[in-house]
Amino acid sequence: MINSSKEVASNYVNVGVGKCNLPAGKAIVLGILAGMFIGLAGLGATTAAVSIKLASVAKFVGACIFPAGLIMVVIAGSELFTGNCLLIIPVLEKKATIGGMLRNWLLVYFGNFIGGLIVAAGAVFSHQVSLFDNGMAVSVISTAVAKCSMPFGDALIKGIFCNFLVCIAVWLGMAAKDAAGKVLGIFWPIMLFVLCGFEHSVANMYYIGAGLFANGIDAYAEAAAAAGIDTAALTWGNFFAANLLPVTIGNIIGGFMVGIAYWFANLREK
């Protein structure tokens, strides 16, 4: 048995009100945890993918590992900006305010950013990325360069599709009544977004952060240069302006698509 879509929508109203009322300190700490969970999932996905020579298989394996991040967020309990785009539901129900939603986003996004950078720094400065003869460092830098070089429109659209799937994963997780059901519900939409190459703002806090840190270490930068990677686009400015900005806007739109549709279908008064 699972919760119906209407039950999920009703339950999320109460959940969302609680999120909007979280004390600032708790919201930030729970945001840091979520950022670390997503970052560790990204680190694990990259480690597995780099160890596989066939690119198509490597991408699929990485996509199958990455859902561990949202599974930890949901089951262990933490605050993830992208999932919290569903806060539009209690706002539309007039149980929460736009100000409360924006406050939650700001605090959680800040926490997610710290968490993602903690994992990025840990992976680079512990020399985790030196695996496979610095092959992992090359992959980390290459991924970050690609994300910082993406056209604004591409990043925006990929952000929309990404968070549409992330919020569907959250929805399926809330529909399940046991841990196994939550894991299965969350896995498939997240695997799809990674396999399709969509853009997740919190994941990118780790991916681009790791690329920036790795590019600052001579051995890793030299390995990337030897592999023919031009790192000119890999800057902190492009991290924020060329990637996080369009991807975050896209993530909000994608989350709103899910939240508004299910609010309209299940909760809106005739």
Question: What is the three-state SS of 75-103?
Answer: HHHCCCCCHHHHHHHHHHCCCCCHHHHHH
- 9 has pLDDT over 70: yes
Residue 126 phi/psi, 5-degree rounding, is: -90, 0
Q: What is the pLDDT of residue 207?
A: 98
Looking at the chain, the whole-number percentage of residues with pLDDT higher than 90 is 99
Q: In 3D, which of 89, 99, 54 has the Cα closest to residue 261? A: 89
- 170 has pLDDT over 80: yes
Q: In Å, how far are 61, 74, 99, 166, 239 from 108, measured between CA atoms? A: 29, 15, 14, 16, 19
How far apart (Å, rounded) are the C-alpha atoms in residues 17 and 254?
A: 21
Q: What is the pLDDT of residue 144?
A: 98
Residue with tokens 């009703």: 10
Secondary structure (3-state) at 175? helix
Rounded to two decimals, what is the model's pTM?
0.97
Residue with tokens 């394996």: 61
- Note whether residue 270 is domain-resident: no
Q: Two tokens at 174? A: 């809330």
Q: Amino acid identity of 106?
A: L
What letter would DSSP give residue 130?
G
- Note whether residue 221 is domain-resident: yes
Q: In Å, how far are 95, 103, 171 from 268, measured between CA atoms? A: 13, 25, 18
84-117 residue pLDDT tens: 999 999 999 999 999 999 999 999 999 999 999 9
- Note whether residue 151 is domain-resident: yes
- 270 has pLDDT over 70: no
| Secondary-structure breakdown of the chain: helix, strand, coil percentages, each rounded to the nearest 5 | 80, 0, 20
Across residues 254-264, what is the average pLDDT? Answer: 98
Let me know: does 159 contact 246? Beta carbons within 8 Å.
yes
Let me know: does 108 contact 252? Beta carbons within 8 Å.
no
Residue with tokens 């023919």: 228
Secondary structure (3-state) at 123? helix
- Which positions ≥6 away from 61 have C-beta within 8 Å? 45, 48, 49, 52
134-168 residue pLDDT tens: 999 999 999 999 999 999 999 999 999 999 999 99
16-62 residue pLDDT tens: 999 999 999 999 999 999 999 999 999 999 999 999 999 999 999 99
| Buried/exposed code over 46-73 (b: 16+ C-beta within 10 A; e: otherwise) | bbebbeeeeeeebbebbbbbbbbbbbbb
Q: What is the pLDDT of residue 153?
A: 98
Which CATH number covers residue 129? 1.20.1080.10
Residue-range definition of the domain harbouring residue 115: 5-265
Q: Amino acid identity of 140?
A: V
- Note whether residue 229 is domain-resident: yes
- Structural domain total, the chain: 1
Q: What is the pLDDT of residue 1?
A: 80
Across residues 164-190, what is the average pLDDT? Answer: 97
- 65 has pLDDT over 80: yes
